[in-house]
A and B are shown apart, each in its own frame.
Chain A
Amino acid sequence: MAVGAWLPPVELTASGRAALLPGEVERLFLSSVDIEAEENTTLTPLRSGLLALTSHRLIWINDAARLARSVPLSSIIHTFPPKKSIKNMFASPRVRIQVSANVDGKVVGGSGATSLVITIVMRGSKNDTESFYGKLWEVLKSKSWEVEEVKEKENAGDMRASVAGEASGRARVAVVGVAGILRKEQEMWESTDKSLQDAFQDLNALMGKAKEMVALADKMRQKLLSGSAAHTNDEEMGSKQEMQDWLLSVGIISPVTKESAGALYHQQLSRQLADFVTLPLEKAGGMIALIDVYCLFNRARGTELISPEDLLQACVLWEKYEVPVMLRKFDSGLMVIQSKDQSDAEVFARITSLAEKPDALKMGISPSDAALTLGIAPALAKEHMLNAESKGLLCRDVSPDGFRFYANLFREFEPRDIYLVKDHGLYQAWISAASAVST
């Protein structure tokens, strides 16, 4: 039997963070934690992992083995307050909870036929049972997982109702035909408008609404996604794509904060960042300037802003983990985040093909031209071009008009016969491009 199979498994992201459920927020991290089942020694204990307390679960992650298990908070029946006694002063601090389990002794979430007592042993030196117990108690009281469940049920109900409605016509007023659609749109618009108004009344309300807004954005995105399959109109697709991009960048639901992660702050931040940058990296073609990431990341974090130093430290920590991205520093000092599978060769190929277009052959390309075409920052484009130059792919032209790069034709020129032009080469292509009258 796999280690800890008595607890539900947890999916991990590429950077080794737990994949969170919709609406799930991390509240506290503890390092070097064991989870043991008391009274039942047949259940193998989980040894030395990272414990994350979220609004929905207790998640235990062993990084080395890439193994993660969770205890759904919904299955917790009772928590035993930490005892203070002389005996406990010398043992590792521990918190005990009673959880319900099914007949096989497996914890599955919700109430079950039997129950077992789990001991959470904190071996880390900085762990504090009091604050963990307090946070756990707080989270249990708020019962956020129930809210999500109810919402899900509602959604499912809606879906079923609308499917049924299409088939047989429903009892509710005017849901059929154009009037129905308009009415529905109006209703949705009004409720959206209301939540927007509420949200901006004051900052506290905004904080409260933030989660709702993110959920709304996510819902809209889902809707757009489901719609796009049916319509293939290009323009519509374009605007939808744009809308989707906006919605995608709305936010990170559970930002890692100093408060929740404590000593593990940078480590967790680093992993969250690694997960976060995958999407913008893909859009930017595999490389993105650190400054851009800083803006995107902080925007996604909403009110939990991080400092540039924290961001840099998070990036530096990537060297220690198995993450698909890396920090790269160019000779000029420019720092970028690059996905590991992006190779320089690919970038060179794109730049070369750009430089060999007739216009570029004639006029050369400036870093800002290249930035526009390649969809990257000008500083980054210049680094790429300087790299391509050092590989002999490009050469430079410095004039009062500025700094431009040209496809390197020097290789095509023949010093022994300076008038020689080969029939089918880049040299010939350049001559015809340069002699063409620009329109």
Chain B
Amino acid sequence: MQKLGDFRVPNFFNYPPYFTLQPIRETREKQVQLWKELILDYCRSQKVFIIGLEEEFPLFSNPAIQRSLSHESREVFLSALVSEGRAEWIDKNHRKCLVLWLRIQDWADHLINFVRENGLEDSVMTVEDIRSGIESRGTELAGIDRGVLIRALKLLEQKGKAAIFKGSSTDDEGVKFNV
């Protein structure tokens, strides 16, 4: 089985038409669906949050069959994710895309589980601690995109389950959980 880093790619990754945007509606719908699943799977396993359309992205080319996605098709597939709420364009020109392989709500749930499992109820953590601290090592939260984490925390804050303290610099933004 072919691999991209430690990611196992499906067989159809070697099917040349997979890399050409199909003009026929039904065929294209299926193709778009397959790309959406593959992008989410890959990003989740490799903890990729941001895809730059103009940068090299391992998933978008297959040297084994000498095929790669055109700029247009990249935009089509990512736009399909955006319209489902599984991704967001970071800029107006659609050059960078934030992939939400977990929705913000799911991230918030993960945070609560994390807090419970580590007995962190009523204690205070910095945002940076959550991303790279010892407790989060080996969990989905390790290496989480800062923007995504803040949004998940704000969601919890709205629900009264957390409070965010502003520090003097971004590094010491603190969170007090109240689960």
Tell me the complex Cα distance, A430–B19, Å: 16
The 3 A-B pairs with the shortest beta carbon distances in the complex, nearest first, are A397-B16, A418-B10, A415-B33
> For the complex, is B23 an interface residue (Cβ under 8 Å from A)?
yes
Q: Pick out which of these stretches binds chain B: A31-39, A94-102, A139-147, A387-395.
A: A387-395
B12 touches A418 (CB 8 A): yes
Within 8 A of A (CB), among B40-68: 41, 66-67
> For the complex, is A246 an interface residue (Cβ under 8 Å from B)?
no
Q: Contacts A410-B34, A418-B38: A404 and B27 contacting too (C-beta < 8 A)? A: no
Closest to B31 in A: A410
B11 touches A427 (CB 8 A): yes
A399 touches B67 (CB 8 A): yes
Cβ-neighbour of A398 out of B20, B26, B27 (below 8 A)? B20
Closest to A414 in B: B34
Chain A neighbourhood of B23, CB < 8 A:
389, 396
Which A residues have a C-beta under 8 Å from some C-beta of B? Answer: 364, 389-390, 392, 395-400, 404, 406, 408-411, 413, 415-416, 418-419, 421, 427, 430-431, 434
Counting chain B CB atoms within 10 Å of each CB, the highest count among A364, A396, A410, A431 belongs to A410
A410 touches B37 (CB 8 A): no
Tell me the complex Cα distance, A427–B11, Å: 9
B66 touches A410 (CB 8 A): no
B34 touches A399 (CB 8 A): no
Chain A neighbourhood of B136, CB < 8 A:
none
Chain A neighbourhood of B22, CB < 8 A:
395-396, 410
Tell me the complex Cα distance, A336–B16, Å: 32
A415 touches B37 (CB 8 A): yes
Q: Contacts A392-B24, A410-B22: A419 and B10 contacting too (C-beta < 8 A)? A: yes
Least CB distance from A418 to B in Å reads: 4
Chain A neighbourhood of B19, CB < 8 A:
397, 399
Chain B neighbourhood of A427, CB < 8 A:
11-12
Total chain B interface residues with beta-carbon distance under 8 A: 25
19 A-B pairs, CB-CB below 8 angstroms? Answer: A364-B17, A389-B23, A392-B27, A395-B24, A397-B20, A398-B20, A399-B67, A406-B15, A408-B27, A409-B15, A413-B30, A413-B34, A415-B36, A415-B37, A418-B34, A418-B37, A421-B11, A430-B15, A434-B15
Chain B neighbourhood of A389, CB < 8 A:
23-24, 27
B33 touches A390 (CB 8 A): no
Chain A neighbourhood of B12, CB < 8 A:
409, 413, 418, 427
Known contacts A364-B17, A434-B14; 16 additional CB pairs below 8 A are A389-B23, A389-B27, A392-B27, A395-B17, A396-B20, A397-B17, A397-B67, A410-B30, A413-B10, A413-B12, A415-B30, A415-B33, A418-B34, A418-B37, A419-B11, A427-B11
Cβ-neighbour of B20 out of A399, A408, A413, A415 (below 8 A)? A399
> For the complex, is B8 an interface residue (Cβ under 8 Å from A)?
yes
Tell me the complex Cα distance, A364–B17, Å: 9
B126-170 vs A, CB cutoff 8 Å, 1 = contact: the mask equals: 000000000000000000000000000000000000000000000
Chain B neighbourhood of A400, CB < 8 A:
66
Chain B neighbourhood of A431, CB < 8 A:
11
Chain A neighbourhood of B14, CB < 8 A:
434
